[in-house]
Structures are given as structure tokens and as C-alpha cells.
Structure 1
Amino acid sequence: MQSFILCLFFGIFPICIHSRIVLDIYHDNSKANSGVSENVQTPNQTYDEISLTKYLNSEYYGLIKVGKPAKEFKVIFDTTWADSWLPSEHCALYELSCMWHTRYDSKKSSTYKEDGRKFEISNDEISLKGFLSVDDFHLPHLKVANQTFIEITHMPVMSTLLDKADGLIGLAFSSLAIDGTIPFFYNMIQQNIIKENIFTFYMNRDPTTSKAGNLILGGTDRSHIKTNLTYLPVIEKKYWTIRMDKIIVDVGNKSFSFCTNGCNAMIDTSSNAIVGPGNIIEKINDLIGAKSVWKFFAYKYMVDCRTFAKLPPITFVLGGKNFTIQSKYYVQHMTAFSATLCLSPFVRSNTDSKVWQLGGAFLMQFYTEYDLDRGRIGIAETLM
């Protein structure tokens, strides 16, 4: 969940831009009819499909409802988390980020069950506090009963205040779940409401729409692919991490290779960024002509919006096959008050980890299937 805030100075007034969101003065917490079910499971439905919305090609979220009467939340479906969390009505008034988002109120749900176990995480990327609760989660056609989730009472302002999404549904392996709780997708399997133990992401590359594609829980839709699937085994059933053969940047008639002895790569559906070791990220950004945004924000790089479509293609070699992303899709465009900023998706890791994270800038051009039983990911190039 990479994030930062950048202020650009136009005249004497700064315009501040969040890496995942432009300051949205009229933040939309309205509860428009989303088609999400409430307490009803559609007969004979063996999978469910969630429409995803993109914001600045940086944040991808869908809609769920929780409780009875059901309340709607915007959530990120995140392959790097196993747990699910929502902002809580129990947040203190000074918790600005929590107050800004839609909050879960257990007192207003007749299907709420108390758990009460405490939760806290603090690392270089995020700091969260809260406690566990249980309630029913509602998708467009299916109900996931008795889902344990975290009611968050502390959210870091700098990294979450301006996010469009309220919370998160974790789709990583159960070994990462806290205190032996059952993650969301595993609950769907145990309750026998889906036919296949597979979930699928299809991302929409069309820059003229906010539609980000679809998440299919319990099934596949291969009508979106133009090549056969390449299956890659998951290295360890924690994160959706696979082995990457190498990365190739083609500049003119020259090719530059990185990770030539192979490296591990985690698929990350929570953000646009492609995260890697700092020294390699700097070299890749230099090859595509990206400049550091600011000394203070050295992990973000900017490219020329006038020539972004001519930047070099980047190839990720996976399972001996080339998966190439084009700059017209991987460059992130951010606009505020008629000012546009074009960012490289290549971001240095703020830890010492050598594991790469392949986010939306990669997924935008590739359909991915996550097979829980076989412990593998299927990847194929999408149709235009």
C-alpha cells in the first residue's frame, strides 16, 4: 500500500497530491445503489463477480456491504494481506483518517458477534490498531456469513486519509492471518458457496474510464485473454510470490537486464506500483528518463507527460516467457486543478527486502488467476 503526498507550487499556493488520490474536496461517502446483495444468496450462484473502480490508476476498489441492515463500504481486494479490516465507529474524534471514511457500527447491526481480541501492526509501511469483530459480508449475489474482521480504531493520516477505499479484504494465504482467524476467501470455500477455489483479476486498460475491471471470486473468465495461460508455482503459501527470471529494459538498440540470476516477485493488487530494490529501481528510472520528484520523495520519479508514450517497454520474464508492459499503460497520470503529473510506477522498497512487488502497472496488461488448491498463479496477456 505505497503512498505519499506531494505538493506542487503554482503561483504562491501549493497543490498537494496524494500518490493514490488527488485531494477530493467533496469526498463521496454517498450510498448509491450498487447492486450488492443484502442477506440474500442468489440460487444456483457458484461464484461472484465484483466490479472494480480505479482512481488515478493507483487505487483499485470494489463495493461490499456488511451487517444487517447492510452498510456499504469501498474496499481494496489485496493479495498482500490475509486479514480484512474496516474503520470502526469506535475511533476517537482526533483519528482524522478514520473519521473521514465510512465506519462500521456494531450497535446498528443485528448480525454482529463480539470477538474483542486486540490487533496492532506497526512497520515501515503502515501503522494500524483495532480489535476483532464478526459479521456477515454481502457481495452482489452471495453472503459470506460470520466473517471475522478487524475494526480499525487507528489509521495513519499520511498514508490513508485521502484514500478512496475505506477498508480492505485480504486475499493472501491463511498462514498470514492473525490468531488463526479464517480469511474471507477461505470462508467462502468452507461455507461451500463457490464452485472453484480460484479467484481471478482482469484489469481494464482504457484510460478514459474509471472502470478498473473485475474480480471473480470462485471462477474464471478467459474470454479476456489472447494467449495461453502461463502457470507459475507459488514459492511459499503466504504471499502470492512467484519466481521471476529477469527484467529487461529495451532502450533503442540496446537491452539492459536486471535480476539476471532470478528473484522473487509478489503479485500486489492493492496499488499501481512496481516495487524493487533501490539500486535497481534507480537504474530503471534512469533508463526511462524518470527524474526524482523531490529529494524528500526520492522513492517517486516523474516522467515527461509530452513523451510518456514513447518511453521504453519493460519486459518481465516469468516461467521462461516474456511479459512486456508498454509505457502508455504503465505511466501513472495524476491531474489536479488542470495540472497533470506523470509518474513512473517503479518505486524503491522502503525496507531491505529483495522481493519485488508487481502491482497495477503490470496487472493492467495481464489477466491473472490465483489457484488456492494448486498453489499457483496463471498469467496471460489480455485482449485490448
Structure 2
Amino acid sequence: MKSVAQYYGPITIGTPPQNFQVLFDTGSSNLWVPCNDCPFTDIACKLHKRFECKKSSTCTATGQPFEIQYGTGSMKGTVDNDTVCFGGSSQWCTDKNQGFACAEEEPGITFVEAKFDGILGMGWDTISVNHIPQPMDQIFASPTCGQQVFAFWLNRDINNVVTGGEMTLCGMDPAHYTGPIAWEPLVAEDYWRIKLGAVAINGVTYTDGPVDSIVDTGTSLLTGPTEAIKKIQHAIGAIPFLNGEYLVECSKIPKMPNVTFTFGGQDFVLTAYDYVLQIQGNGGSEQCISGFIGLDIPAPAGPLWIMGDVFIGKFYSVFDHGNKRIGFAQAKSSAN
């Protein structure tokens, strides 16, 4: 899994296997990859690897239409059935009846610039488009899967991105976290949704009582209701920039305040080094962007906070499907 803003990794589909890089996304529940017969006008498709059902002896093209909308970007296509394997090995594979979408239309620029080919959703089946069971259902049902969990360690060190991170299936990796795991039960089985007790800076709380939050590997930043995020940006000294993003002066990072998130009565603290994205520009210049951004999600799904990679990068995150809970532990840095 690589890139500080985009975390993705390998899967294969079909027989013989066709290789893809996908975003492992806990904020959605469908798998899709670009389709070989997408039109030449679909730039995103043409710039990425494409699945060809005819070249797989185990593929069945159902012709069933498929459409999905994300917070940014959307796609249309048709449903194929075939074998899906995680990590390019045969250890974690579905049977040939695994449904997924073959994308024939990816409008806009969202997916044009993506370093991944497609998306593999790891949310709950209740939000799966067309009610297609996701690949992890079959992995969890396998007798070789010791625990119905998967876990993420994300490397946030921009100077060491040889290893972008690690996703572990059916277990956890003690090499990537330290101390105990704090568990928080799910409040719904749609997204990986848990109660956020409070968000605070220097004793000032920016939430009005407990509020829903989702832990989402597919979101780069940390989002919350716009009004609350505006107050947080002001409190950390950030300056409005473009499209809801805020800049900070890089030189002020050492003096910026901590932001504390409370789950299950336990505090999880982000320092400015955690919540500011330091981006190297051309000619060695550096730009520092606040990792917080406003996003108003209407009822019934919202309002909610999205704990994206800014948070997951600090805390090793365990998604426990069997016990319907999420666990956080202090992540070890890539240098450890």
C-alpha cells in the first residue's frame, strides 16, 4: 500500500489472474475495476488497467447494470462474476461467483488522477449497491480465517514511503502497534459507525454531545460538520484556501495545539504533526494543509464525522466484523 494521500494495494481477478491496484475502502461496500470495453472517451478507464472477462476462464458476464456515487466521483458499468484474490496470493481468494462491477463510465477527473485502478469496499453489505456480497464475506467464511477482522497500519512518513502501509486479513500485526487496543462497539451496521464522545482543543469542546462517526480508509482527511470544522480551523490558526481547504504556516506547526477525540471515555490525541499535511512542491518549496475539512452529511446518514487517514495514520485501526466493533491502538511509526 503506497502514497501518503492514496493508500492502495494489489488484488487479482480471474483465471489466469489479471492484476489490479485497488483502494481498500471501509466507507463503501462494492468492488469495481475498469472494464476493457469502456469507450475511448473515458480517460480514467484508458489510463488504468482494465478487466477483460473474455480472457478469464472463470468469468461470467451477467449484463446487470451497476451505478455507484461516492463523495467525490461516480461510476457506471455492468456486473461480472469471477474469482477475486487479495494481495496477489492464492491464500485469500473468493470462488468464481464473486460479483463485482466492471466500470464502463467514470466521469469527471476524480479517477483520472487516481494511482489505483478501482475500489474494493469493506463496509457492511447493508450499503452494497445491488445487494452484491463483498469479497470479505467469503474470506471471513473460510476455515483458514482465524478471526473475522481486518486491520490497517498507514505509514504517514512522507520521507519514507517505500512501504505505504499494511492491511492484515483475519488477524492483527503486533509489529505495527504498541500498547492495548481500545474497543468501541458499532452503533449501526452500514458504515463502520461508532460514537464519537467529543472533539476538544485546550479544554474547549467542538461537539454538542456524542455524535456518530465513521472510520473510513477511503477518506484522506478528517471531516466534520462545516460549522464545527470552521471553529477548529480558527483554533489551530489555519487560513481559508480553496474548496473548503485551509492552509497553515509550516513554521508554526511546533506551537499548534493538540486536538483530542474521545471514544468510549478514552482520549485519542492528534498533534499538529499528525493533522497537518506537509506537501513538498516543485523546487523544494513546502505547503502545509490542514487535515480537517468541513462536510455536511444530511440525515438519515448524518450528521457525522469521518475519521479518515489523518486519524487512522496515528492509530492502528482494527475492524472486528465478528464482534461488531472497532479497535484503536497507538501505531508504531515506520522508523520503529
What is the TM-score with the length of structure 1 in the denominator? 0.80
What residue number does 1:316 align with? Answer: 261
Spell out, residue by residue over 1:297-319, the C-alpha distance to the aligned partner (whole angstroms, 9 max, x if none).
2x111111232343211110110
Among candidates 94, 108, 112, match of residue 144 of structure 1: 94
Match of 1:305 in 2: 250
118-127 or 103-112, larger mean C-alpha shift: 118-127
Q: Does 1:119 align with 2:66?
A: yes
Q: Percent identity?
A: 27
Match of 1:31 in 2: none
After superposition, the Cα gap between the structure-2 partners of 1:71 and 1:367, relative to the gap in structure 1 and judged at 3 Å, is: same
Q: Which amino acid aligns with 1:167?
A: G
**1:174-189, aligned counterparts within 5 Å?**
174-189=125-140
Task: Give, in whole Å, the separation in 1 of the partners of 2:168 and 2:157.
Answer: 19
Partners of 2:15 and 2:254 in 1: CA distance: 48
CA distance in 2, matches of 1:312, 1:187: 44
| C-alpha distance after superposition, 1:332-359 (max 9, x if no partner) | 1233423432111111115433111001
Could you tell me which of 115, 123, 128 is aligned with 2:75? 128
- The equivalent residue for 1:201 is 152
SS of 2:209 mapped into structure 1: coil
How many residues align? The count is 324
Determine the structure 2 residue equivalent to 1:215: 167
- Counterpart CA distance in 2 for 1:121 and 1:174 is 14
RMSD of Structure 2 on Structure 1 (CA): 1.7
Q: Distance in 1 between matches of 2:254 and 2:108?
A: 34
Q: CA deviation at 1:77?
A: 0.6
Q: Distance in 1 between matches of 2:82 and 2:222?
A: 34
Alignment CA distance shift 1:90-1:350 (3 Å): farther
Deviation per residue, 1:93-138 (Å, 9 max, x gap): 1111111111111122222112221112346633221111112122
Show CA shifts across 1:164-202 (max 9, x none). Answer: 111111111111223332211102123434221111112
Aligned partner letter, 1:348: G
Q: Which moved more, 1:120-129 or 1:373-382?
A: 120-129
Q: CA deviation at 1:223?
A: 3.7
**Contact 1:58/1:271 (<8 A) preserved:** no
The 8 Å contact of residues 112 and 133 in structure 1, kept in 2 or not, is answered as yes
- Aligned match of 1:325: 270
1:19-38 map, 5 Å: none
- Of residues 211, 214, 217 in structure 2, which corresponds to 1:266? 214
Question: What SS does structure 2 have at the residue aligned with 1:161?
Answer: coil
Code of the aligned partner of 1:219? G
Q: Distance in 1 between matches of 2:323 and 2:74?
A: 33
Residues 1:75 and 2:25 aligned together: no
Give 1:166's match in structure 2, choosing from 117, 122, 139: 117
Q: 1:161 to 1:199 in 2, by over 3 A?
A: same
Report the Cα distance in structure 2 between the residues aligned to 1:144 and 1:310, rounded to whole angstroms. Answer: 50
In structure 1, what residue type is equivalent to 2:149? I
Cα distance in structure 2, aligned partners of 1:271 and 1:265: 13
Matching residue's letter, 1:63? P
Alignment equivalent of 2:289, drawn from 332, 343, 359: 343
CA contact (8 A) 1:365 1:381 kept: yes
Could you tell me which residue of structure 2 aligns to residue 356 of structure 1?
305
Structure-2 separation of matches of 1:81 and 1:306: 37
Map of 1:36 onto structure 2:
none
One-letter amino acid of the counterpart of residue 282, structure 2: F
- The answer to whether the 8 Å contact 2:147/2:322 transfers is no
Corresponding residue for 2:319? 370
Q: State which drifts further: 146-155 or 124-133.
A: 124-133
* TM-score, with length taken from structure 2: 0.91
Distance 1:317 1:198 in 2: 23
Aligned counterpart in structure 2 of residue 66 of structure 1, from 13, 18, 24: 13
Alignment correspondent of 1:281: 229
Residue from 72, 80, 101 that aligns with 2:48? 101
Gapped regions of structure 1 (runs ≥ 5): 1-51
Deviates more, 1:93-102 or 1:350-359: 350-359
AA aligned to 1:126 is G
Unaligned runs of 5+ in 2: none
Change (3 A) 1:139 1:60: same
Question: Residue 362 of structure 1: CA displacement?
Answer: 0.5
Residue 363 of structure 1 aligns to which amino acid in structure 2?
I
Distance 1:215 1:235 in 2: 24
Letter of the structure 2 residue corresponding to residue 102 of structure 1: K
Runs of 4+ in 1 over 4 A off after TM superposition: none
- The amino acid across from 1:287 in the alignment is A
Contact 1:247 1:260 in 2 (8 A): no
Alpha-carbon offset, residue 214 of structure 1: 0.8
Instruction: Check 1:112–1:212 CA distance in 2 against 1; reply closer, same or farther (3 A cut).
Output: same
Q: Is the 8 A contact 1:60 1:271 kept in 2?
A: no
